[in-house]
């Protein structure tokens, strides 16, 4: 069964360093998303991406964040200068029919620890 | 603003017990409501959904009814199994946005 895969599963970084989290969405999907969950808090929407551009972003997704689909398979989230409060589990998701259906396919998550 | 509130976990049950996980929401407009489940080592996956008031979503023995009058979408199962041990997330979406709004998740532990 096709699935969304994410790498790395866990990354530890120093404050101020750049981090790239990678995702391979399901191959025929058209809509891509990043969510995050800070420990003990809610899963929060970061950004949605469709047709090679951001379609919506949250207030969390400020200038230090960027997303890219560099080729036909990968979807990346870059954090330019990490802060302690960026420590969280980051989830990539994709779907075929768009966000209104609510049926997103999620990866297992990448845990980011900023020291 | 729009939000989802779930009961605190963990919920600990014996096999074959009845399960209820409470979920209430606040939303402007008419949301669609969802339950997602995350099994250990896996990503979140859609368990069931309901798109309008009084709809009942069901899957794998789980049910939830969209109650507009109480702004609730409680998850129920008549007889849980050890394999149901997971984290359950209630969520909503509105027609004017791309995002799913999630609750904090409720961990369910079922013991034999």
- Min Cα distance A82 → chain B (Å) is 24
| A-chain residue closest to B44, CA distance | A106
Closest partner residue to B49 among A43, A55, A102, by Cβ? A102
Closest partner residue to B45 among A33, A100, A106, by Cβ? A106
Token match 């849980």: residue? Answer: B80
Cis peptide before B105 (omega within 30 of 0): no
The model's pLDDT over A19-77, given as tens digits with 9 standing for 90+, comes to 999 999 998 899 999 999 998 888 999 999 998 999 999 999 999 999 999 887 899 99
Q: Which residue of A41, A42, A95, A101 is the best one to mutate when testing the B interface, meaning the one whose CB has the most B CBs within 10 A?
A: A42
Cis peptide before B10 (omega within 30 of 0): yes
Report residue A103's pLDDT band, with 50, 70 and 90 as the boundaries. Answer: confident
Q: Which residues of B touch A109 (CB under 8 A)?
A: 43
Give the model's pLDDT for residue B30: 87
* Alpha-carbon distance values, A78 to A44, A63, A75, B21, B105 (Å): 17, 10, 10, 36, 26
Cβ atoms B11, B69 nearer than 8 A = no
Give the model's pLDDT for residue A40: 83
Cα end-to-end span (Å), chain A: 37
What lies within 8 Å, CB to CB, of A47 at 6+ separation is: A33, A34, A54, A56, A57, A58, A61, A65, A67, A77
Using the Cβ of B69 and the Cβ atoms of chain A, whether some distance falls under 8 Å is answered with no
What lies within 8 Å, CB to CB, of B69 at 6+ separation is: none
Give the model's pLDDT for residue A72: 76
What is the rounded average pLDDT of the residues A81-90? 96
- Min Cα distance B46 → chain A (Å) is 6
Report residue A91's pLDDT band, with 50, 70 and 90 as the boundaries. Answer: very high
Q: Is the pLDDT of residue A100 over 80?
A: no
Q: Which residues of A touch B95 (CB under 8 A)?
A: 100
- All residue ranges of chain B with pLDDT < 50 are none
Q: Which residues of B touch A108 (CB under 8 A)?
A: 41-43
Strand duo A105-106 + B75-77: pairing = unpaired
């Amino acid at each position: 069964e096709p699935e969304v895969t994410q790498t790395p599963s866990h990354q530890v970084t120093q404050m101020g360093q750049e981090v790239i989290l990678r995702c391979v969405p399901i191959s025929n999907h058209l809509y891509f998303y990043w969510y995050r969950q800070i420990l003990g808090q809610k899963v929060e929407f970061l950004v949605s991406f469709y047709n090679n551009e951001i379609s919506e972003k949250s207030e969390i997704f400020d200038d230090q964040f960027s997303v890219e689909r560099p080729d036909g398979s990968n979807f990346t989230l870059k954090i330019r200068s990490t802060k302690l409060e960026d420590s969280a589990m980051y989830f990539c998701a994709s779907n075929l029919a768009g966000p209104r259906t609510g049926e997103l396919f999620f990866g297992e998550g990448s845990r980011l620890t900023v020291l | 603003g729009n939000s989802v509130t779930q009961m605190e976990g963990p919920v600990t049950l014996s096999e074959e017990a009845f399960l209820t996980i409470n979920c209430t929401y606040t939303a402007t407009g008419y949301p669609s409501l969802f339950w997602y489940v995350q099994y250990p080592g896996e990503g979140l996956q859609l368990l069931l959904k309901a798109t309008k008031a009084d709809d009942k979503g069901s899957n794998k023995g789980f049910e939830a009814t969209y109650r507009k009058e109480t702004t609730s979408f409680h998850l129920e199962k008549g007889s849980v199994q050890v394999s149901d041990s997971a984290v359950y997330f209630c969520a909503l979406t509105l027609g004017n946005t791309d995002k799913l709004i999630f609750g904090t998740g409720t961990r369910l532990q079922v013991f034999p």
